[in-house]
Chains A and B, each alone.
Chain A
Amino acid sequence: MIHEEIEELLGAYALHATEPEEDGEIEAHLAGCPRCRAEVQAHLEVAAMLGGSTTEVPAGLWEKIAASVGEIPPPGAADRLSVVPPMGTAPFSAARGSPRWQAAVWGTVVAVAAAVIAVLGVEVSHLDQQVRSLRTAVGQYGLSGAAAQVALGPHRTIVLTADKAEVAKVVVAPSGAAFWVSSSLRELPSSQTYQLWGLARGKIVSLGLVGPDPHSVAPFRIEATITTVMVTAEPSGGTPKPTLPVVAQGNVPPETVD
């Protein structure tokens, strides 16, 4: 179908009134045509106003939904997020009963202290010294967990720059566990947060929130597909897509150093 033929179908498409064999071609066109996407969205807004009257929901429906989402881990969950919410910076209170949240927190706790060691530049050559340094770092900074391998083992360091000046660092373990470990960025008001983004195959994905304090040690993950890390200042709670100018960015180095 040519552009004009697709255009004529956009109203019907928004009302799910096109034929299945047409939908694929329409969707392929929409992927590359912002103007047609905008028109479909406008039609969807109208349809939502037509159909959006509120009705009292049946009792017990939420319990059924909650049971479904609790029992079935979302497929692809591991790669949809690429992020462990930083401790204390999650947009909402953590689901403390959730096994997957607990697992995430444990993974976080395990590595935070090592990142601190990296920040502090602690020199370690013996196991005993490592343990002492770790304990010192954990005790001194009041971190709620202990132990990790990132800064003590093979890792990469991403240097984030603004106007060619270094403003933050991120250390990345071979596993992808990563930590925002130091920054000279200004502290944000409590209504805002620094948010990290990764560029992977031309697509920008959220990596997680640092919070308003850039000196926080924030854990997250960097998948192997991510080539660039960016930072924006966003409203507290973060956003699904970056909405403000990038305040710093850096490339993920290919080489791991010991």
Chain B
Amino acid sequence: MAVISDLSSASDASLAMAVARWQEEALAEIYRRHAGAVFGLAKRLMFDAVLAEEVTQEVFVRLWREPERFDPTRGSLRTFLLSVTHGRAIDILRSEMSRRAREERSRAVAEAGYDLEQEVFDLTTAERVRKAVAKLPGVERKAIELAYFGGHSYREVAAIENEPEGTIKSRIRSGLRRMGRELDTAVKGTDR
């Protein structure tokens, strides 16, 4: 009977399944592969290494507790972990910072030259993502930037941009779809 002892060669899906069998070594391998991205996103969102560390810890403990939440048929483990990371970080930001404080933070960041292009560091995808971001209309880029990295809801983005909520919803959606097409992640059949 085959025993896969080389964790480094196992697929993410296999590792997730092993986590569902309470195999801590599999969780350790997932951590080795993805903790850098999880911590990196948390730190970028929270501007606080200690809080980012707490979020990272929560993300991996949550995977341990609820591995069934990851469905490999719907996407990669990395995407799942980063979505969980983003959601948790945003929850903390919203609970600990007032909207005005987040607006001020966004403004300070913007004045320091913050934009999506500078936020893209992953070496394997950086160039593709930069190109996709560069092709976004400015208003779409701004809406995504405020929502994803600024932690604002679309209603808050609408207030910040002084635009109708429906306009902001559309800008976020169309911007993501535009980037998806550029990055070839878009799902076929969703275009009208």
A residues sitting closer than 8 Å to B (CB atoms) are: 7-12, 14-19, 35, 37-39, 41-58, 61-62, 64-66, 68-70, 72, 74-75, 77, 80-81, 83, 85-86, 88-95, 98, 100-101, 190-191, 193, 206, 211-213, 216, 235-241
Once bound together, how far apart are the Cα atoms of A240 and B96, in whole Å?
Answer: 37
Mark B74-99 against chain A: 1 for CB-CB distance below 8 A, else 0: 11101100110111001000000000
* Contact between A41 and B75, CB atoms less than 8 A apart: yes
Known: A51-B45, A241-B71. 8 other contacts (CB 8 A): A15-B172, A17-B154, A35-B190, A47-B83, A52-B41, A65-B57, A88-B3, A211-B2
Given contacts A11-B169, A12-B169, contact A50 B40 (CB under 8 A): no
Residues in A with CB closer than 8 Å to B45 are 51
Query: 28 A-B Cβ contacts within 8 A?
Result: A12-B147, A12-B169, A17-B172, A18-B154, A38-B190, A42-B190, A46-B179, A48-B78, A48-B83, A50-B120, A51-B85, A51-B119, A53-B41, A54-B37, A55-B43, A57-B39, A61-B39, A62-B35, A69-B27, A70-B24, A77-B22, A80-B67, A89-B3, A92-B5, A92-B25, A206-B17, A237-B10, A237-B14
Contact B119 A216 (CB under 8 A): no
A236 close to B4 (CB less than 8 A): yes
- In the complex, the answer to whether B144 meets A74 with C-beta atoms within 8 Å is no
B residues lining the A interface (CB < 8 Å): 1-5, 7, 10-11, 13-14, 16-18, 20-28, 31, 35-37, 39-41, 43-45, 49, 53, 56-57, 60-61, 64-68, 70-76, 78-79, 82-83, 85-87, 90, 116, 119-122, 125, 128-129, 133, 144, 147-149, 152-155, 157, 166, 168-170, 172-177, 179-180, 183, 185-187, 189-190
Residues in B whose Cβ lies below 8 Å from that of A211: 1-2
In the complex the two chains form, is A12's CB within 8 Å of B153's CB? Answer: yes
Contacts of B153 in A (CB 8 A): 12, 17-19
> In whole Å, how far is B67's beta carbon from the nearest beta carbon of chain A?
7
Contact A241–B43 (Cβ < 8 Å): no
User: Do residues B190 and A8 form an inter-chain contact, with CB atoms below 8 A?
Assistant: no
Query: A74 touching B22 by the CB < 8 A rule?
Result: yes
Q: How far is the CB of B154 from chain A (nearest CB, A)?
A: 4
Q: How many Å lie between the Cα of A182 and that of B36 in the bound state? A: 46
Instruction: Tell me which residues across on chain B come within 8 A of A62, comparing CB atoms.
Output: 28, 31, 35
Are A11 and B166 in contact, with the CB atoms below 8 A?
no
Give B162 Cβ to nearest chain A Cβ, in Å. 17
Q: A42-B190, A57-B36, A101-B22 are in contact. Are A50 and B28 (CB under 8 A)?
A: no
In the complex, which residue of chain A has the Cβ closest to the Cβ of B146? A17
Distance in angstroms between the alpha carbons of A215 and B78 in the assembled complex: 37
In the complex formed, the residue of B with least CB distance to A195 is B17
Q: 10 closest pairs, A vs B, by CB?
A: A11-B173, A55-B40, A53-B121, A211-B1, A54-B36, A17-B147, A237-B14, A45-B185, A11-B172, A48-B79
